[in-house]
Amino acid sequence: MEEPGVKAPIDHVESKVDIDDRVKDDRANKILHEAGGQRIHLTPENNSRVLKKIDLRILPVVLGIYFLQALDKATLAYASVFGLVDDAGLVGHQYSWLGSVVYLAQLVAQPLIAYILVKFPLGKFLAVIVLLWGIALSSMPAAHSFGSLLVCRLFLGFFEAGVAPAFIALTQMWWRRREQPMRLGAWYAMNGITNIFGSLLTYGIGHIHSSVLKPYQIIFLFFGLITVVFTAIVWFFLPDSPLTARFLKGEDRLVAIERLRANNQGVEGTQWKWAHVKEAALDMKTWLWCAMMFSISVPSGGVSTFGPLIVKNFGFDQFQTILLNMPFGAVQLVATLGGAWAATALKWKSPVLAFLSLPPIAGCAALLHLPRDASAKAPLLVAYYLISVYPGITPLIYSWSAANTAGETKKKVTTGALFIAQCAGNVLGPNLYTTGEAPLYHRGLTSNLALFVVLMGLYALQVFYLMILNKKHSSARERLGKPAKIKDRSMSRVRARGQSVDESQDEDVTGGHAFDDKTDWENEDFIFVY
């Protein structure tokens, strides 16, 4: 019996052709081959050591990027409170389109983004787009009309288009499936942090009196320049993958790769495979997740763009409105991290998603029926804050999809499809609200309520389909002489030997295709999670 941490030789000898083919599939195979074709057994010690290094080095940079992205997109809502609508002469749906055009640009960019994420280094790609969207935001103080503002927002959306897909790729590349919900939840929770600290910063900036720039122009310039400066941190501190990370040396790099074997999703591949594209298009779960993402993004786009205006129409002034946006961010933060924690503990995401969909249903219903007068201010705010639970849903949908998709090209295409659906929802969402429908916003709130209810049915349908896929894989393993039922090691903790150790007698059986760039359909060892 081998001791923990000791390398175990692979039982068979591969030909040079086999090795060359496997290296083409995933670069992790090249690293493993150069290490002598040996396997590292995960132990509580080496797993904890490497995970801590990854969390300390990767997460802060990722959180910083997403905080700035959320902040930069929110500047429009903040600016609307400080007179942007009147100063730019925005009428009808023009303000709505300033919110929508960001997502329209992101939607159009997704096919290109999916290809870039397969072919180009991930860390350097993120550094470049952070710089470009920072420049776009810094240019907005020079825009004084609907047309010029629309162009700036268009470029902002185009350059931000790669952030969410890149972060999904990062999550799949660095963390095990059990660890992914909390990491995805952490970076998406930056939306809540943005609403808290962004509101405070905006409150302070709004009190600046300048003869040159108006408050909303200072908001654009201030946040844009911070983003440009942050580019240097991304460039120098975010590695492209575990295979090239300088902070992982010697055995730690092999441990980082071995940690991902149980995911059966690979680490990093650079081959674009059209067969994967076809499979993603034919896979019903892709479309179900897209439907979920669209359904949650319609209310998300509307509320994020019109939220401060909705609160202002409860009867508050501009400074009160900004401060009252802070509890919205706090609820959002708790819902996002709480949902991620619950999904990790339960190992099921669908019941957590269903639970998170209930408060927004209650909030929308309340806003539709409560009167708009001074006596109803407190109940109106409570209803608005109930809706603010919805941001916890989006990262769990992304996490659910990421955990159930394998194959380098298929992963990128599926993530791109989800982001297209998200963008489409965010384009439609603000246009269901108009400044002319204030203060009731009846059309927007009614459509949001209906879509939250639709989400409940989509969760149930997806679980049923995943059960069918697991049954098919179980039958396929049986035909190949493998155990019909196997444990999903990627959802288990690494504990002391003799308790719940990831390595077991069937480890080689269930991890044999982990770095062969097989899709979740092709790999019979892949286990779908609910």
Task: Look up residue 530 and give its amino acid.
Answer: Y
- What are the residue boundaries of the structural domains of the chain, listed by start? 8-40, 44-239+282-471
> DSSP letters of 123-137?
HHHHHHHHHHHHHHH
Cβ atoms 407, 266 nearer than 8 A:
yes
Three-class DSSP category at 241: coil
pTM above 0.85, yes or no: no
For residue 467, count other CB atoms closer than 10 A to its CB.
Answer: 12
Instruction: Give the helix/strand (H/E) hosting 8.
Output: strand 8-9
Residue by residue, what is the 3-state secondary structure of 448-514? HHHHHHHHHHHHHHHHHHHHHHHHHHHHHHHHCCCCCCCCCHHHCCCCCCCCCCCCCCCHHHHHCCC
Residue 415: how many CA atoms within 13 Å on its side-chain side? 32
**CATH number for the domain formed by residue range(s) 44-239+282-471:** 1.20.1250.20
Q: Rounded to whole angstroms, what are the CA distances from 179 to 69, 489, 525?
A: 23, 12, 20
**DSSP-based three-state secondary structure for 39:** strand
- Report d(CA 233, CA 285) in Å as an integer: 37
pLDDT tens per residue across all 530 residues of the chain: 333 343 433 333 344 444 444 444 556 666 666 655 566 777 888 889 999 999 999 999 999 999 998 888 778 878 887 888 888 888 878 888 888 888 889 888 988 998 998 888 999 999 999 999 999 999 999 988 999 999 999 999 999 999 988 988 898 889 988 888 899 888 888 888 887 888 788 888 878 888 788 888 888 899 899 999 999 999 999 999 888 889 998 888 888 888 887 776 655 666 788 999 999 999 999 999 999 999 999 988 778 767 777 787 788 887 888 788 788 888 988 999 999 999 988 889 999 999 999 999 999 999 888 887 777 888 888 888 899 899 899 989 998 998 899 888 898 899 889 988 988 888 888 788 776 777 778 888 899 999 999 999 999 999 999 999 999 999 998 888 888 888 776 666 655 444 444 443 344 445 556 566 788 898 888 889 99
